[in-house]
Chains A and B, each alone.
Chain A
Amino acid sequence: MATPDVSVPIGRTTPVLDRAVAVRHRILPTRALLYLALLVLSLVFFFPFFWTIASSLKSTTELFDFPPLVFPAAPQWSNYATVLTTVPFLLWVKNSLVVVALSTSGVVLSASAVAYSFARFRYRGRDTMFLVTLATMMLPGQVTLIPQFILFDKMGWVNTLNPLWVPAWFGGGAFFIFLLRQFFRSLPKELDEAARIDGAGYPRIFWSVLLPLCKPALATVMVISFISNWDNFLTPLIYLNNQNLFTVALGLDYFQNFPQQAGMPMQNLLMAASLMAVLPPMVLFFVSQRYFVQGIILSGFKG
């Protein structure tokens, strides 16, 4: 029930022009403020990276100049090489990549199979099991940590990479199962039925009909799993104490505490190492941004 707009004075000849002027006056400052806010915020979010990059290229004496130099006089690219020779950083990268690759493939394969079951089959206990699955998202990881450690210790897996990826092959975790189940449910059931009429069994329907259609969701799962495994610190901290088995996250922390042993590293080396640790998830994000953003949204608000 919109009342007619009576605020326009009668007799004015160019209401359209008036409105345009009014709109420009009202909108322009707001737009300008909006862009100003966006720019300032971008600066806030980006400045620390800029500072890291600048610091990583400074010489040791430049680090302690006051006031600090914004740009180093001559970029010390050799800082990066020094990191690689001071600690087995490339080995840590390799370990991280092994863990990430093995756990991510486990997550993708097992979570999609489980999600297929939850989305497409009817059996006793399915809904209960699904509810339990969702409930595990609320569980603090600390409570399973100690018994898992004891279990892996008894299996002789302490100081191996196994505890970091083997659990991923058992369903991959509630979050991924939920995300993929939502995606399976959005695919028309007629696809399955048509494939059944053509004589396909369930494994074949799963593998050759539905899974190829899930590519966007699977890409999301891959990216999120990569990033969270790359970031993971607590699990490697608990299971690994052999330097040659460290992941990047654990190695970086070790590198921080290195001076107590060898008088190194300076902040420029630490920043160089940190940047190298940030790079892989960031590159992956830029490559897969579209899927990634979609996936987070999908997981977040579609009940």
Chain B
Amino acid sequence: MAASSSAQRALKQRSARSFLPKLLGVDTPLQAQTALWGYLFVLPWLLGLIIFIVGPILASFYLSFTQYNILTAPKFIGFANYEHAFSADTLFWPSLGRTFLYALLVVPIGLVGSLGLALLLNQRARGTNIFRTLFFVPSLTPTVALALLWTWLFHPTVGPINTMLVLIGLPGPGWLTSAQWALPSLIIIALWAGLGGSTMLIFLAGLQGVPQELMDAARIDGAARWAKFRHVTFPMISPTMLFNFVLGVIGALQVFTLAFVATSGGPSYATWFFALNIYNQAFQYLNMGYGAALAWILVVIVLSLTLINLALSRRWVYYAGD
């Protein structure tokens, strides 16, 4: 009895020994033991991924087909939320268009501007570090403070910007208080805060990685400044450009705090972005189901745009390693 049980145990152990490594994707029991440690270290993230990301994504997918206000149980209503968004919600299409317009202006101008600043800093002028810091400081301003600060700078009557405009004989617009100018004003604020920020630093690093031999070779071949940029610098930094571009688009489509604090989405919905609509529906009216549907629409838009950008990037991004 004892003998057979120990034999059984040995057998069991052996099969466990060959089974476990296979399960964990390694060759030997020792490696399996190591792999278990690997799982242990990755555990916090695995839980975080399930509890705070994958779980909520699935949950909001489900909720997007329900009517739910937190207080009573969710009621399944099929595609009604999506139908409402596409055909009945008068704020849906305008807010989507406005968000696209914002991204369409902020991202390209931001990229060109940040790259321009990085190119200036890359000329190795004396005091470059000081200038780099000065350019970077606006991006450290908390968004709420940024909104308050610019509300005051843009003050229609006593703000310094309109004062200067008046002094040179131009009529100052109402900026954030004018339905026509509010969106351009927010774009100016976003650019002021973002141009010298991390995007510029990443470009700067990319520029410093352009091999000097290539620049020298181009110079010897008689390339002019623009030709050098077009045919040497740009291809070399194109992966950096792609990185900044993709993240820029993702960020711009989610614009929220700046508009919420500076204009509350107004005047007359002139800065009512898509994310404001989500917030308002979900947390002001407690239409959690409808809010989830809006959020899912945003996810689909952001993911498809990102995939399109990555696919198109094969035409213009150059990887030196390939």
Which of B25, B145, B163, B257 has the most CB atoms of chain A within a 10 A radius of its CB? B145
> Which chain B positions have C-beta within 8 A of A151?
51, 56
What does the 1/0 interface line of A226-237 toward B look like (CB < 8 Å)? 010011011001
| Inter-subunit contact B125/A35 (CB<8 Å) | yes
A142 contacts B278, C-beta separation under 8 Å:
yes
Task: Tell me whether B158 and A116 are in contact (CB under 8 A).
Answer: no
In the complex with contacts A63-B158, A123-B35, A274-B145, A116-B41 CB distance below 8 A: yes
Interface of A is mostly: helix
Residues from chain A with a CB closer than 8 A to the CB of B115 are: none
A118-159 with Cβ < 8 A to chain B: 118, 120-126, 129, 132-133, 136-151, 153
Scoring B residues 296 to 315 as 1 if CB is less than 8 Å from chain A, else 0, what string do you get?
Answer: 10110011001000000000
Cβ of B292 to closest chain A Cβ, rounded Å? 5
Cβ contact within 8 Å between B63 and A146: yes
A206 vs B306: C-alpha distance in the bound complex, in angstroms? 36
* B8 CB–A CB distance under 8 Å: no
Closest-CB distance, B252 to chain A (whole angstroms): 11
Q: Which of B35, B46, B148 contacts A122 (CB 8 A)?
A: B35
* B55 contact set on A, CB distance < 8 A: 147
Contact B25 A125 (CB under 8 A): yes
B10 CB, nearest partner CB in chain A, Å? 26
Which segment, of A11-19, A80-88, A167-175, A211-219, faces chain B?
A167-175
Number of interchain pairs (Cβ within 8 Å) = 279
Is the Cβ of A267 less than 8 Å from the Cβ of B24?
no
Alpha-carbon distance between A136 and B294 when the two chains are bound, in angstroms:
19
Asked if A252 and B41 make an inter-chain contact with CB atoms under 8 angstroms apart, the answer reads no
Contact B44 A113 (CB under 8 A): yes
Answer whether residue B108 sits at the interface, using C-beta atoms and an 8 A cutoff.
no
The CA of A126 and the CA of B25, in the complex, are separated in Å by 10
Contact of A34 among B52, B120, B239 (CB under 8 A): B120
Residues of A within 8 A of B148 (CB): 252, 256, 270-271, 273-274
Q: Which residues of B contact A140 (CB under 8 A)?
A: 250, 253-254, 295, 298-299, 302
Residue from B202, B244, B294 in contact with A297 in the complex, judged by beta carbons closer than 8 Å: B202
**List of B residues within 8 angstroms of A252 by Cβ:** 142, 144-145, 148
User: By the criterion CB–CB under 8 Å, are A66 and B44 in contact?
Assistant: no
- Assembled-state Cα–Cα distance A297/B136 (Å): 14
A93 to B152, CA, bound (A): 23
Chain B contact residue count (CB 8 A cutoff): 101
A114-B299 in contact given A52-B149, A140-B254, A300-B240 (Cβ < 8 Å):
no
Contact of B52 among A65, A118, A170 (CB under 8 A): A170
Report if B171 contacts A (CB, 8 A).
no
Q: Which of A255-303 contact B (CB under 8 A)?
A: 256, 267, 270-271, 273-275, 277-278, 281-282, 285-286, 289, 293, 296-297, 300-301, 303
Report if A49 contacts B (CB, 8 A).
yes
- Residues of chain A lying within 8 A (CB to CB) of residue B140: 227, 278, 281-282, 285
Which chain B residues border A297 with CB–CB below 8 Å?
Answer: 201-202, 204-205
Asked if B138 is at the interface (CB within 8 A of a chain A CB), the reply is: yes
B209 within 8 A of A: yes
B108, chain A: closest CB distance, angstroms? 19
A136 contacts B133, CB within 8 Å? no
Give the chain A neighbours of B57 by CB distance below 8 A: 139, 143-144, 147
B141 to chain A: which residues have CB within 8 Å?
A: 278, 281
- Whether the Cβ atoms of A55 and B152 lie closer than 8 Å is yes
Beyond the given A34-B125, A121-B38, A278-B142, please list 5 additional residue pairs across the A-B interface where CB-CB is below 8 A.
Answer: A146-B56, A147-B56, A171-B47, A252-B144, A277-B145
A binding-site residues for B, Cβ under 8 Å: 2, 31, 34-35, 37-38, 41-42, 44-49, 51-52, 55, 63-68, 110-111, 113-114, 116-118, 120-126, 129, 132-133, 136-151, 153, 167, 169-171, 177, 202, 206, 227, 230-231, 233-234, 237-238, 248-250, 252-253, 256, 267, 270-271, 273-275, 277-278, 281-282, 285-286, 289, 293, 296-297, 300-301, 303
A-B contact pairs, 23 of them (CB 8 A): A46-B134, A51-B153, A122-B25, A122-B31, A123-B26, A126-B42, A133-B49, A139-B302, A140-B250, A142-B254, A144-B57, A146-B282, A146-B292, A147-B55, A153-B70, A231-B142, A248-B142, A277-B144, A278-B145, A281-B140, A300-B198, A300-B243, A301-B239
What are the 4 A-B residue pairs with the smallest beta carbon separation, nearest first?
Answer: A170-B48, A121-B38, A171-B45, A124-B25
